[in-house]
Chains A and B, each alone.
Chain A
């Protein structure tokens, strides 16, 4: 082997290492529409899962009419599962274990009632609602609502704006949906504010009408906020390229979090859907702030609200490509950068000061360069 060939081998090896790092570590990537359940503690969990099935079977035998069962949050399935959990599940399990229990209970319930059922009852301490913004999404809106119906939501507020297609008719077919119809476009994320103003639920899940995300992937957001955190964000960090290749918007997102002393959030932001917020957070910062997501995030973080990241849902690859949102320097990028400017401005004009300041220039110079 000559000198040159040995050298030329170096580069590919290095590149390979780089690629491995860019893959998410220790997490199974959720495949759209399917449940990526991890086999954790199966041996310990086995009897409980079996018990859940049996309890479901028993409850299903006494199921009410299909009409009375239509909305999950007030159905017997949700109520009996919550009661069963309170009685038999001692420690609050993580969401994946909870989903397994829920699935077993539901399949027992389906067997008992003789009806098909794939809904996901969850024991929640507070009430939950969802806000869906849609404009001209007739193709996907139905699927989105179908998935939301599988969750124990009190209401789903669908903000239709500027729709020229059949979105309204599609949405009206779903009993759970409360429709807000605006003939003209409201603009980016304004629907979130409008929708959130209509609900007083303890947990509000935000999603868009253009990506159908399975209920199994949405449940963790609700569950997380129900646990006590104030905001559950979709953890997109594992999907990001290296900083050198990131776009301006991503860098702005990271910077805003860093400035606020929350580097652990990475580039995650309320700009991305899905995410869930606690009702108290929305009431505190004001629903009007939600339409500029980075501003809402900055104000909430500055007030000390607790943000958590949940298992990633890949909305980047699923996002509909529109003429306005692709390529560098596009109109949407400009908007989002403007949003971050507005967020920083709002912070600074509210008299916010950077956390854990290390002291003045002179003090730092003394500390670093003293002999």
Chain B
């Protein structure tokens, strides 16, 4: 008992150190480091003609502070690895920072919309494994590798096992939506894992089957993947909730919340159009015709 408790505490402490390092990485990314950058660029040139195994796709909009650190970690995920940054609607030096860190950058003047960069980036990706990250969240390569490894090992959709804050009686709407969708899809084992959360990885097979369009609405892509019989698994936990940047809110609510909720409703709508309104669940012998009279 004592020992187990101690282990947990040690984990917490080491986590704090990890987090401090993340912060430092995010800070140092703001200052250009020439020596480091040239080295990475050289490596990129070496590989540019070979077909990579892993394609890392990073949509970014005005993330110049963090993007270099994200790209640098992404490049360390696999020896044969391409990093595609979809810089859309940027008014800052995101594209330049990403490029000098060693990424292939797709530039778009106008913002594509939340998660829409994933579709565009995937179209340009050549790898067998598609790993998706956010431009604002530097995650260390060892935390990313399990996703790529899982897909190389036969998983089609490798999700982040992070459930969000669940030690509350009433969870956040988005957390509720993720759990409810997985329940409706008959995958309660996935708990709150979702394609909405990064990091996650998809196989080439999954992309071929689902297409790139639906990736802009991640819950819809998840529903389609489950229905298509792809191997969907929550493989590794990265507690991204704590790494999320604090954002401006409207009336105390993050405007993204409604988008994510709408995405989930869209996914439920799509799912129920196929097996019927009840999602092919039992009615336990309801004698529905008995009530026609008054209704």
B255 with A364: CB separation less than 8 A: yes
Interface hub of B2, B9, B175, B291 (most chain A Cβ within 10 A): B291
Give the CA-CA distance A371 to B85 in the complex, in Å. Answer: 19
A288 with B291: CB separation less than 8 A: yes
Chain A residues with Cβ below 8 Å from B255 are: 358-359, 364, 367-368
B72 near A: Cβ within 8 Å? no
B265 near A: Cβ within 8 Å? yes
Nearest CB in chain B: distance from A279 CB, A:
12
A358 with B259: CB separation less than 8 A: yes
Pick from B140-148, B164-172, B221-229 the stretch touching chain A: B164-172
Which A residues from 1 to 51 make CB contacts under 8 A with B? Answer: 4, 7-8, 10-11, 18, 21-22
Number of chain B residues close to chain A: CB under 8 A: 68
Nearest CB in chain B: distance from A352 CB, A:
9
Instruction: Annotate B245-261 by CB proximity to A: 1 below 8 A, 0 otherwise.
Output: 00110100111111101
Chain B residues with Cβ below 8 Å from A255 are: 176-177, 179-180
A315 near B: Cβ within 8 Å? no
Chain B residues with Cβ below 8 Å from A364 are: 113-114, 255-256, 258-259
Main secondary structure on chain A at its contact with chain B?
Answer: helix
Give the CA-CA distance A186 to B290 in the complex, in Å. Answer: 8
Nearest CB in chain B: distance from A309 CB, A:
13
A346 near B: Cβ within 8 Å? yes
Chain B residues with Cβ below 8 Å from A244 are: 163, 166-167
Nearest CB in chain B: distance from A69 CB, A:
33
Per a CB cutoff under 8 Å, which of A288, A289, A369 touches B61?
Answer: A369
B291 with A197: CB separation less than 8 A: yes
A74 near B: Cβ within 8 Å? no
Extra 16 A-B pairs, beta carbons < 8 Å, given A254-B176, A364-B256: A8-B2, A187-B285, A193-B291, A240-B169, A243-B170, A248-B188, A255-B180, A288-B292, A337-B279, A338-B278, A341-B277, A348-B268, A348-B269, A360-B113, A367-B250, A371-B91
Which A residues from 321 to 344 make CB contacts under 8 A with B? Answer: 331-332, 334-335, 337-342, 344
- Which B residues have a C-beta under 8 Å from some C-beta of A? 2, 5-6, 8-9, 61-63, 89, 91-92, 110-116, 163, 166-171, 173, 175-177, 179-180, 183-184, 188, 216, 247-248, 250, 253-259, 261-262, 265, 268-269, 272, 277-279, 281-288, 290-295
Q: A348-B265, A365-B61 are in contact. Are A242 and B166 (CB under 8 A)?
A: yes
Nearest CB in chain A: distance from B207 CB, A:
21
Chain A residues with Cβ below 8 Å from B259 are: 358, 361, 364
A146 near B: Cβ within 8 Å? no
Please list the 4 inter-chain residue pairs (A to B) with the smallest Cβ-Cβ separation, ordered nearest first: A288-B295, A338-B281, A361-B113, A197-B294
A5 nearest in chain B by CB position: B2
A357 near B: Cβ within 8 Å? yes
Nearest CB in chain A: distance from B98 CB, A:
15
Q: A334-B281, A344-B272, A368-B247 are in contact. Are A287 and B170 (CB under 8 A)?
A: no
Nearest CB in chain A: distance from B19 CB, A:
19
Give the CA-CA distance A8 to B2 in the complex, in Å. Answer: 7
A337 with B281: CB separation less than 8 A: yes
A-B CB contact pairs (8 Å), 25 listed:
A7-B5, A8-B5, A11-B5, A185-B285, A193-B291, A243-B169, A248-B183, A251-B176, A252-B180, A254-B176, A263-B170, A263-B173, A266-B169, A287-B294, A287-B295, A288-B291, A291-B286, A335-B282, A341-B184, A345-B269, A345-B272, A348-B272, A361-B216, A364-B256, A368-B255
A331 with B284: CB separation less than 8 A: yes
Chain A residues with Cβ below 8 Å from B272 are: 341, 344-345, 348
Chain B residues with Cβ below 8 Å from A259 are: 177, 261, 265
B291 with A354: CB separation less than 8 A: no
Chain A residues with Cβ below 8 Å from B292 are: 288
Give the CA-CA distance A190 to B2 in the complex, in Å. Answer: 54
Nearest CB in chain A: distance from B199 CB, A:
19
Give the CA-CA distance A156 to B5 in the complex, in Å. Answer: 57
A166 near B: Cβ within 8 Å? no
A178 near B: Cβ within 8 Å? no
Chain B residues with Cβ below 8 Å from A186 are: 286-287, 290
B291 with A291: CB separation less than 8 A: yes
